[in-house]
Structure 1
Amino acid sequence: MAEEKTPATPIKEGPGSATPSSTATAPKAPRASPKPAAPVKDGAGKAKNAKEVIKEEAGKASRQAGDKARGYAEQGKEKATGALDEAAKVIKDAAGSVDDKFGSEYGRYAHSAAGSVSDLADRLRDADVDDLLEEARQFVRKSPAIALGAAAAVGFIFARILKSGIDSDTSI
């Protein structure tokens, strides 16, 4: 038995064809050869610029904060030197009384203390804030226990000053 083959009929396509083709598809776009993608200027460029802008703004904020901190440190240094000058004056005035009441030997100690406080005020007045900060860092590294104790004492003194200020305001 021989198989009979039927000849394939060509499918007519075109504007006037009446039979729809099952193999007909939409025209395909020509395939492009693979190329490296060009950088997208809108998306990636903006992201890179935004990163740089944020970095610059952070740098500006950091510099402004540093400048403000230095300004506050300068003000604190001026107040501290003023207080030390006043303390030296008080000690010097008291040294005369110590001479009269307890003798010149004890008076010498008081005069020496007044001179030391006055010298400290002068050194502080002449020092740069950055140098003072570096000295403080070195001191803390060398003697952390003393630095911690001094910080606690200063905190206690400030707390007492604030408390006395608050107590005097409420009694009015």
Structure 2
Amino acid sequence: MQTMVNPTDSTPAATDHANDHRAEAKSRFSKALDEAKAGVAELKAEAMEKSGSYKDRAGEKGEQLKGDAAAYGEQAKAKAYELANDTKSKTSEGMVALSKLITDNVATVDEKLGVKYGDYARSAAGSLEKNAASLDEKSLEQLGDDAREYVRKSPGTAIAIAAGAGFLLARLFRRR
């Protein structure tokens, strides 16, 4: 049976008993505090492990996406190069066809408008054939270099040509 100690009691037995309770309370509090600290440390370690795992997975996914983007970029570059070569080839074929059409109709121009205009038509047909051959012979890189050089030499003319081409393309696509 426990005896109740009056807190106002100042006898040595009561003081010892109160000190024992305080020591026990301090001990329990210290244990609880130590357990809480251990729990926090354990949670921190677990959180660090999970965050490291997430970081690793995010890094792997990022690298995978980066590789996919590079692959798609290379595919797009190859397709653009292929389309540019096809366009260059078709442009050259169109120029040759136009040249032949003009050449086939030069006799009619001579009859209806005169030899002077027929000579202009022959000259235009010859220029078209020459430019078509030059276009076929050059690579896309050479054509790009030529275009850059032309723009450096005649920026005003280049802007006017670009504006005219843009206008024609806009009208062409607006009708469809």
Regarding TM over 0.5, the answer is yes
Q: 1:141 to 1:62 in 2, by over 3 A?
A: farther
After TM superposition, list the pairs within 5 Å mapping 1:11-160 onto structure 2: 11=20, 21-23=24-26, 24-25=28-29, 26=31, 28=34, 42-99=53-110, 102-103=114-115, 107-159=118-170
Q: Which runs of 5+ in 2 are unaligned?
A: 1-9, 42-47
**Structure 2 CA distance, aligned partners of 1:62 and 1:93?**
46
Pairwise CA RMSD: 3.7
Residue identity in the other structure for 2:160: G
Alpha-carbon distance in 2 for matches of 1:89, 1:115: 9
Write out per-residue CA displacement over residues 14-67 of structure 1, whole angstroms, 9 at most, x where no aligned residue.
xxxxx99321232636989xxxx89x7522222222222222111112112112
CA distance in 1, matches of 2:130, 2:72: 37
How far apart are the structure 1 equivalents of 2:11 and 2:126? Answer: 126
Question: 2:60 and 2:165 mapped to 1: Cα distance?
Answer: 47
Return the offset for 1:140. Answer: 3.0
Q: CA distance change for structure 1 residues 141 and 66 in 2, over 3 Å: closer, same or farther? A: farther
Number of residue-to-residue matches in the alignment: 151
What letter is aligned with 1:11? Answer: D
Unpaired runs of 5+ in structure 1?
13-18, 167-172
Give me the whole-angstrom Cα distance separating, in 2, the residues matched to 1:137 and 1:55: 32
Structure number with the higher helix fraction is: 2
- The letter for the 1-side match of 2:20 is I
Instruction: Give the match's secondary structure for 2:142.
Output: helix
TM-score normalized by structure 2? 0.64
State the percentage of identical aligned residues. 29
Between stretches 22-31 and 52-61, larger displacement belongs to 22-31
Q: Which amino acid aligns with 2:54?
A: G
**Post-superposition offset of 1:118:** 0.4
Q: CA deviation at 1:160?
A: 5.2
- More moved, 23-32 vs 43-52: 23-32
Rounded to whole Å, the distance in 2 between the matches of 1:140 and 1:127 is 18
Structure 1 residue 137, shift from structure 2 partner: 3.3
